[in-house]
Structure 1
Amino acid sequence: MAATRCPGGPRGSGACRCACASAPTAPPPPRVARSDGSTSTGASSCPGTARGSTAGARLAARRSATAPSASRTSRCRAARRSPSACAGAASPCPSSTAAPTSAGASTTSPARPSARWASAPPARSSRPSDRRAGATRPDPTGTGTRTCVRIPSGPRRTIGGDVSRRIAHLDIDAFYASVELQRRPELRGLPVIVSGDGPRAVVTTASYEARRFGVGSAMPTAQARRLCPDAVLVPPDFEAYRAASRTVMALVRATVDTVEVVGLDEAYLDLTGLFSPKAEMRRLVQRIRETTGLSASVGIGPSKLVAKVASDAEKPRGFLVLEREEAVRRFADASPGLVPGIGPKTVERLAALGIETLAQLAATPDEILADRFGTNQGPWLRRRGAFLDDAPVSEERIAVSESRERTFDVDVREPHEMEEHLRRMAAELCDGLTRQDRRARTIAIKVRLDDWTTVTRARTIPEYTAEPDRVAGVAVELLRAYAPARPVRLLGVRMASFAHEAAANAGRGDQLALEV
């Protein structure tokens, strides 16, 4: 007797086009002959069951118990076998459908989708209507329909990830000293102080090795040398520092569009809209290191204030990301002087009110602060204590004042000598303003006596000017009116209230000429 096999159907058709679906189910099944002369029951001839009636029955029972729906049934394996007729099957082929069989009889199984569509993950449609939850598309096999279920992928995201503001502050570690160490590698690991060597010189910056001895910027050099006698004193070379700064800022501007440079060694970067701000900043720090040999500290937060404090918190080579609430908790017990814009004098005045921490400052009512510091500065101080800041990152940073100062190696006692210094500094100041095409109305002087008493005097004139004689004349008049009673160790000239500010404040009324 010829061997009988289930021919199945085309791969993935979802139908077994044989007579097994309509074969009698009453036992015992007929025995059929194989091509090798052996015989077996008809149950083994259908590929939908295992070989042998007993094993096939057990397998069919397990499948029916564990497969709650047709989607769990495997596709007919007959396509991988030699085609022949399937006769006398003990049970219907598991892949048969409600379509009529080749014998013209109807099967007892309900219509079911193709096994491929039931088990394979759905392909994503490019049409928005097809991606809606509950939208349907026809099954390509024609045996049923498929429901497209949209799987949630988490919170809604934009191309920039977090839609909130993200600001970074980048600060080159010990910038001047680091530039000198690049030029003189033999000084690495040694305490280095960048400073002049005059009797009135002050420290420009110091390496971290020198800072361990208490040496800091703006400290008198004589005091720094007492704290660290073995320090190497290096004179400043500002041209080299400016060249290094240009290289660093070129790398910064190649990373983000909006950059606010606030010095040779630091800048604010607006990272809002970047997909991965932290990764971008880490790559920038690495590029700076590879290009210049300089290390940098980075702080990232929702505002310039949080970013600045974060970058200072873990120097050198720090990288700290803080939200405003995290900054409030982390620095709650810190002095108000930690926050940029709150200087030593203000810290003393706050301490007189019993406010010695940022947490206390943030909790102080505006009315109390306004009574002591004014209606503008009082509430501003409370906001600084709470790390509230909405100042934008501005690409164009214009100085609100320009000044020239000089600390004398020997205290100046003669009035005419003081006036000569003022005229020389006024000429230098006006020369710089003329090159920038800037003019101002407010002229001020700064006088520091030998006992470190510091006094300022200012006058606002009717017209804008950058004429050396006009500026020097006002500065000398202010000095004569003050008439220092003690020798002077420092003199300075400053100009403010520039013409561009008047254009910005147009319509607010004319400014009066005042003398302070």
Structure 2
Amino acid sequence: MGTDVRPADGSQPAPKRVIAHLDCDAFYASVELLRRPEPRDKAVIVAHDGPRSVVTTASYAARRYGVGSAMPLSRAKRLCPHAILVPPDFASYKRVSRELWAIVSGRLGALQHLGLDEAYADLTGVEKPVRVLRELVAEVRGRTGITVSVGIGPSRLVAKICSDLGKPAGFVAMGREEAARRFAGHPPKLLPGIGPKSAERLRELGIETIGQLQRTPLETLTARFGANHGADLLRRAHFHDDSPVETERVLKSRSNERTFDEDVASLAELEEVLRRLARELCEGLRRRGTRGRTIAIKVRLDDWTTVTRARTIDAHTNDTALVTEVALELLRAYAPPRPVRLLGVRLAGFDEEGGGAAAPPRNAAQLALPL
């Protein structure tokens, strides 16, 4: 996964960088199968049963029929009508997640968590890291019943892609140069950080594979994407990535949203839902002692058009009355032109120390709230 570079002064070379990405296989479905009598090879779909529900996750037996996360449940049922439908139980998932990652961190130290079911670990300088990880995967499986796929590389970028290879129970190690060769024929969207919009803009330039992106002149990319994004695309295509494993995660935002079973056209009804969402959001923030300055709403129309509106106030707050009033003003100013499928409220721009000046608890109209 690279070679040591010996410094000119003759001192010992810096150890090769070794990053691992650990990803639990179909985590929610795996937790459900562990506590149910059905055989492990059964098709299981984790989702609330409703006309507007989407799939939270699915077992690999269900995925073989084309069922995937975020798919409308109605379509998943058509693809796999014999699947067992299980409502999500996030309290259980969090409990198993805590147990699992306690085992992992006990062996590997600090982790960068990406959610309940995946994390990065920096094993640079660890003796025989591949053996350590294989033993860890076996221990996790034996103690929790959860299977973890592992990707190992010189960077988070390579490790992330490797962990998806051979799932379930994948275990792949690869260097940067090998990754650049092996994935040259794959579409650019394989690379983390290249989403659907960037992939479409690349296709407009005739770039449909990572190999083609590797051979594209930097000038062409910067002309289309700008200096920073264009250079980043080329770096990713060659699998260059020196981003650190960040073991202290800074909370950037918290949100609360609701998808309606039937589209809502009534502004009065939307306002009532928004009030409830804001209240629940602020109650959770107060329990954590967290306050933010940027208040935002998210509105998804019945044609899937998604709009966000935000306003930054003068001081950090988690006051229900203030957040609610600003959110309502944003909703009324937008005035959804079509029935609404999803509505949400978000607070961001947190005070890092939990201190800072708090916003007055009442009457948002007394504050200067720039548009």
Would you say same fold, with TM above 0.5?
A: yes
- For the residues of structure 1 that align with 2:286 and 2:354, how far apart are their CA atoms? 18
Unaligned runs of 5+ in 1: 1-154, 504-511
Contact kept? 2:290, 2:354, Cα under 8 Å: no
Instruction: Look up the equivalent residue of 1:499 and give its one-letter code.
Output: D
Contact kept? 1:161, 1:273, Cα under 8 Å: no
Instruction: Look up the equivalent residue of 1:307 and give its one-letter code.
Output: A
Structure-1 residue corresponding to 2:58: 206
Contact kept? 2:264, 2:339, Cα under 8 Å: yes
Give per-residue Cα distances to partners, 1:434-487, cap 9 Å, x unaligned. 222222221211111111111111222222221111111111111111111111
- For the residues of structure 2 that align with 1:361 and 1:459, how far apart are their CA atoms? 38
Q: CA RMSD in A?
A: 2.2
- For the residues of structure 1 that align with 2:43 and 2:14, how far apart are their CA atoms? 43
- Candidates 300, 305, 308, aligned match of 2:157: 305
- For the residues of structure 2 that align with 1:436 and 1:384, how far apart are their CA atoms? 37
Report SS of the residue matched to 1:441: strand
1:233 to partner: Cα distance: 0.3
Structure-2 residue corresponding to 1:387: 239
Structure-2 residue corresponding to 1:434: 286
Structure-1 residue corresponding to 2:363: none
Contact kept? 2:289, 2:354, Cα under 8 Å: no
Contact kept? 2:22, 2:120, Cα under 8 Å: yes
- For the residues of structure 2 that align with 1:419 and 1:350, how far apart are their CA atoms? 41
1:356 to partner: Cα distance: 1.6
Alignment of 1:330-341 (within 5 A): 330-341=182-193
- Candidates 294, 303, 316, aligned match of 1:464: 316
1:337 to partner: Cα distance: 1.3
Instruction: Look up the equivalent residue of 1:315 and give its one-letter code.
Output: K
Give the aligned length: 350
1:378 to partner: Cα distance: 2.6
- Candidates 390, 404, 408, aligned match of 2:260: 408
Aligned-pair identity in percent equals: 60
Give per-residue Cα distances to partners, 1:165-198, cap 9 Å, x unaligned. 1010111111011111110132422111011001
1:234 to partner: Cα distance: 0.7
Alignment of 1:82-101 (within 5 A): none
Report SS of the residue matched to 1:395: coil
- Candidates 367, 371, 374, aligned match of 2:226: 374
Instruction: Look up the equivalent residue of 2:112 and give its one-letter code.
Output: E
Contact kept? 2:258, 2:344, Cα under 8 Å: yes
2:196 pairs with 1:326: no
Q: Which has the larger radius of gyration?
A: 1
Structure-1 residue corresponding to 2:251: 399
2:83 pairs with 1:235: no
Report SS of the residue matched to 1:390: coil
Report SS of the residue matched to 1:500: coil
Unaligned runs of 5+ in 2: 7-11, 356-367
- For the residues of structure 1 that align with 2:344 and 2:236, how far apart are their CA atoms? 30
- For the residues of structure 1 that align with 2:338 and 2:218, how far apart are their CA atoms? 41
Alignment of 1:86-485 (within 5 A): 163-485=15-337
- For the residues of structure 1 that align with 2:143 and 2:43, how far apart are their CA atoms? 24
Instruction: Look up the equivalent residue of 1:418 and give its one-letter code.
Output: L
Report SS of the residue matched to 2:242: coil
Greater relative contact order structure (CA < 8 Å, 6+ sep): 2
1:385 to partner: Cα distance: 2.0
